[in-house]
Amino acid sequence: MNKILLIIQREFLTRVRKRTFIIGTILFPLLYLGLIFGTGYIADKTREDLNIALIDGSGLFNEDLIKSVNGNDTLNTIHLVAAGTEKFNENFDSLGYDGYLLIPENFKWQSGVDSLSVNTKKSFGMGALKPIEKKLNLLWSKIKHDSLGIDAAKEAVLNKTISLKLNNEKNKNADAGIATVVGYVSGFLMYFILLLYGSQVMMGVTEEKTSRIAEVVVSSVKPFQLMIGKIIGIGMVALTQFLIWIACIFIIYNIGKTTGHQGGGASGMVGQIQSVFTSLNIPVVVGCFIFYLLAGFFFYSSLYAAIGSAINEDMREAQSLSFPITMLIIFSIALMTPAIANPGSSLAVWASIIPFSSPIVMMARIPFGVPNTVPWWQLGLSMALLIAGFMFTTWFAARIYRTGILMYGKKPSWKEMIKWAFRK
Amino acid sequence: MNILEVHNLKKYFATQKAVDDISMNIEQGSIFGLLGPNGAGKTTLIRMITGIFYPDSGNILLKGKKFDAENDAKYIGYMPEERGLYKKMKIGEQALYLARLKGLSKNDAMLKIKYWFKRLEMESWWNKKVEDLSKGMGQKLQFVITVLHEPDLIILDEPFSGLDPINANLIKDEIYRLAQNGTTIIFSTHRMEQVEEICNKIVLVNKGQKILDGTVEDVKQNFKENLFSIQLEAIPDNINSHAFEIINTKKEELVVKINEGFKPNDVLGYFINRSTGIVSFEEILPSLNDIFIKLVEGTPTARQFEKATS
């Protein structure tokens, strides 16, 4: 036991003292936020804006009408063009139009037509036509209103709608929007931690094997002690990093609160954090995160350790052998999206109970509320199964590890590794 | 007293009988040579003695008690042939860590590291990393780490490979000194001249089996071929005797093989009778190298893969 502690201590200290740990701890949240806002920004930048010419054969459309709808969305515009169709369809692009729309003569204000084509010379994304479609229908409804004699006041009455909001009787503070965001953030964070630290375990084991220190160490301790010490040590590093982030959030929150709301980004952030705090049961969310972080980490990293013990130096071997494990994690993240969209569905429930996907999917569901969305029995069953799961993977991995760590030469197949595991 | 007794040890792998029924005893304070060609099963045997592998069958007794890998680790120091250290870890910390894994307390370990580092002039290495060391320096460090916790049994697998003669002598002297203080040393190698120089007793292993066991002297006596070297003032013509045959002739030296039923005196008598001046007369004992080659020759250089049936 004492020896395991020594190994844990070494694994932990050598990693935490490295510059990469400090940089990673600071940079990761920045990169993470950058990823979220960056993709939003890029999506916004790369949106296709269309400038469409409208050739009116029906005589129902006029310049003023079109001007009134263009005011709403100045990026996608429609222009009335009177040019003869023959010549126009060849050089509309040189006139600055992305395409043109021909309203046929049989277009009546009562019936319209079922569909029209926008003629272009290039292809656009699926959603590109939506704003133009919306504008065209707005134009048509204005034409209909005019023909029916509905004035602006009547129109306002007609356009009134009702919006629905969710009110959770049991939990007045519940906010599905915040739960969704926190669910996504926790799920992805879990995903990154499992992958990053899992592969750290794998590389650490391989390093010990290829530098032949393993043989020196296993003459003093059992292979199992060496493996479990490494896993726990690296798990503690992951936990430390997570706790630093949580502490930072609290510090930012408290500083923001005491310096008062002086406007700007800081107070906005504080306001957001505050709304997260009031709508979520923070101790349950953080507590569960720590549990799933550690248990999920033990589950996957012991498998990664087994792979690390089987390979020799060549990183391609590592990739091909760890592929099935990495796929399990990626599959979990794929299950997370439908689980967040509908956290009470049977898919979400089962994915959050079965050990391999439970760390990610359960963490995505928990922000929606315990015990309302996630009943206690589900949480308990999921935790119990995950503990049983990691005990099995650790046992299984230890048996591969003790053979693999001293085995040099050819890369074993999964079949051979399983054979090692079940040998006496 | 035997510090280590090995009884009928067996370890079969899927494709070969790595160790096939080996028994041996090692006396306390002796320097013991474990010899054998590549792939003979030496490393597997050592790994069982160091508790890295469990034997399939057989017993290992350490200090007269059944060997218990976990608690007996502190009595054994093992330097594997493939040296291994953490490349990125500082040398002082690394030595401390490995010593504590052997069961030393932090203070004890610290004192011993300081003693050894001073002794082998390694004090300036403390804050360096292993990757900064040359191969020979790495060897020296590995040796210190092996003997640091003052084990009763030290197992060295090819300890001199990669060392220059000065450092090799330094390590050799340390080995002698440790043996004088009662430490037992097992020396695994296929460098015979070193064995002849250092070891008291040897065991030769081939294809997983023990084929020779005894003191270096006895082994040589057992394998002698009645060869003698005679140096003469001048080699006479027409040497013809029932007592011996000439194997080799150099300038003024004859190598003769004495025939069965005759004695060295018969050879000397022959030359005395012919009034040839004798300068020296000496028995030629086979070198361990010759014995090794003779015993191992004929078996394939690399072991073939065969199905082991246990």
Least confident of A25-29, A106-110, A270-274: A270-274
CB pairs under 8 A between A and B: 56
Per-residue pLDDT reduced to its tens digit, B267-285: 888 888 888 888 888 888 8
| Residue closest to B14 by CA, chosen among A205, A121, A166, A420 | A420
On chain B, the residues whose CB falls within 8 A of the CB of A406 are 47, 52
Report the pLDDT averaged over residues B278-301: 81
Contact B154/A at CB under 8 A: no
Question: Which of B67, B97, B98, B101 to mutate: most A Cβ within 10 Å?
Answer: B101
Q: Are strands B31-35 and B184-189 parallel, antiparallel or unpaired?
A: parallel
Question: Which of A5, A220, A225, A401 to mutate: most B Cβ within 10 Å?
Answer: A220
Q: Examine residue B165 and say whether the peptide bond preceding it is cis (omega within 30 degrees of 0).
A: no
User: How far, in Å, CA of A44 to CA of B310, rounded?
Assistant: 70
Contact B51 A14 (CB under 8 A): no
Considering only residues A299 and A64, tell me which one the structure prediction assigns the higher pLDDT: A299
Q: Is the pLDDT of residue A64 over 70?
A: yes
User: How far, in Å, CA of A276 to CA of A271, rounded?
Assistant: 9
User: How far, in Å, CA of A154 to CA of B217, rounded?
Assistant: 121
Compute φ and ψ for B260, nearest 5 degrees: -65, 140
Compute φ and ψ for B153, nearest 5 degrees: -130, 120
Considering only residues A393 and A115, tell me which one the structure prediction assigns the higher pLDDT: A393
Contact A406 B52 (CB under 8 A): yes
For residue A420, what is the nearest residue in chain B, using CA coordinates?
A: B14
Q: Is the pLDDT of residue B128 over 80?
A: yes
For the ranges A231-245, B217-231, B281-295, the one whose mean pLDDT is highest: A231-245
Cβ distance B44 to B51 under 8 Å? no
Closest in B89, B102, B142 to A220, CB measured: B102
Q: Name the strand (E) or helix (H) holding A346.
A: helix A346-351
Q: Is the pLDDT of residue B190 over 70?
A: yes
User: How far, in Å, CA of B147 to CA of B174, rounded?
Assistant: 10
Closest in A14, A214, A219 to B78, CB measured: A219
Four-CA torsion B253, B259, B262, B268, nearest 10 degrees? -10
Mean pLDDT of all residues belonging to chain B: 85
Q: Are strands B76-79 and B244-249 parallel, antiparallel or unpaired?
A: unpaired
Distance, in angstroms, between B39 CA and closest chain A CA? 14
On chain A, the residues whose CB falls within 8 A of the CB of B15 are none
Per-residue pLDDT reduced to its tens digit, A367-376: 888 777 888 9
Global ipTM:
0.79
Contact B129/A at CB under 8 A: no
Report the pLDDT averaged over residues A304-310: 91
User: How far, in Å, CA of B262 to CA of A167, rounded?
Assistant: 116
For residue B151, what is the nearest residue in chain A, using CA coordinates?
A: A220
Contact B162/A at CB under 8 A: no
Contact B105/A at CB under 8 A: no
Per-residue pLDDT reduced to its tens digit, A240-286: 999 998 888 888 777 777 765 554 555 566 677 777 777 778 888 88
Contact B52 A211 (CB under 8 A): no
At A354, is the secondary structure helix, strand, or coil? coil
Compute φ and ψ for B112, nearest 5 degrees: -70, -40
Contacts (Cβ under 8 Å, ≥6 apart) of B137: B125
Window 185-214 of B, Cβ < 8 Å to A: none
Per-residue pLDDT reduced to its tens digit, A116-133: 888 888 777 777 788 888
Contact B84/A at CB under 8 A: yes
Contact A14 B70 (CB under 8 A): no
Question: Which of A219, A230, A419 to mutate: most B Cβ within 10 Å?
Answer: A219
Mean pLDDT of all residues belonging to chain A: 84
Encode A251-298 in three state secondary structure: HHHHHHHHHCCCCHHHHHHHHHHHHHHHHCCHHHHHHHHHHHHHHHHH
Q: Is the pLDDT of residue B126 over 50?
A: yes
Contact B83 A212 (CB under 8 A): yes
When pLDDT is cut at 50, 70 and 90, the band that residue A379 belongs to is very high
pLDDT for A263 equals 47
Distance, in angstroms, between A228 CA and closest chain B CA? 15
CB-count burial class (<10 Å; 0-12, 13-18, 19+) for A111: exposed
Report the pLDDT averaged over residues A8-35: 86
| Secondary structure letter of residue B132 according to DSSP | G
Contact B55/A at CB under 8 A: no
When pLDDT is cut at 50, 70 and 90, the band that residue A297 belongs to is very high
pLDDT for A85 equals 59
pLDDT for B98 equals 92
Contact B145/A at CB under 8 A: yes
Q: Is A155 left (phi over 0), alpha (psi -120 to 50) or beta?
A: alpha
When pLDDT is cut at 50, 70 and 90, the band that residue B254 belongs to is confident
When pLDDT is cut at 50, 70 and 90, the band that residue B308 belongs to is low
Angle at A74 between CA A68 and CA A80, to 5 degrees: 55
Distance, in angstroms, between A218 CA and closest chain B CA? 6
pLDDT for A124 equals 77
Report the pLDDT averaged over residues B110-122: 91
On chain A, the residues whose CB falls within 8 A of the CB of B76 are 219
Per-residue pLDDT reduced to its tens digit, A152-203: 888 888 888 888 877 766 665 567 778 888 888 889 889 999 999 999 999 9
Contacts (Cβ under 8 Å, ≥6 apart) of B119: none
Residue with tokens 């054998």: B36
Distance, in angstroms, between A3 CA and closest chain B CA? 6
When pLDDT is cut at 50, 70 and 90, the band that residue B100 belongs to is very high
Considering only residues B95 and A315, tell me which one the structure prediction assigns the higher pLDDT: B95
When pLDDT is cut at 50, 70 and 90, the band that residue B310 belongs to is very low
User: How far, in Å, CA of B55 to CA of B17, rounded?
Assistant: 12
User: How far, in Å, CA of B232 to CA of B276, rounded?
Assistant: 7
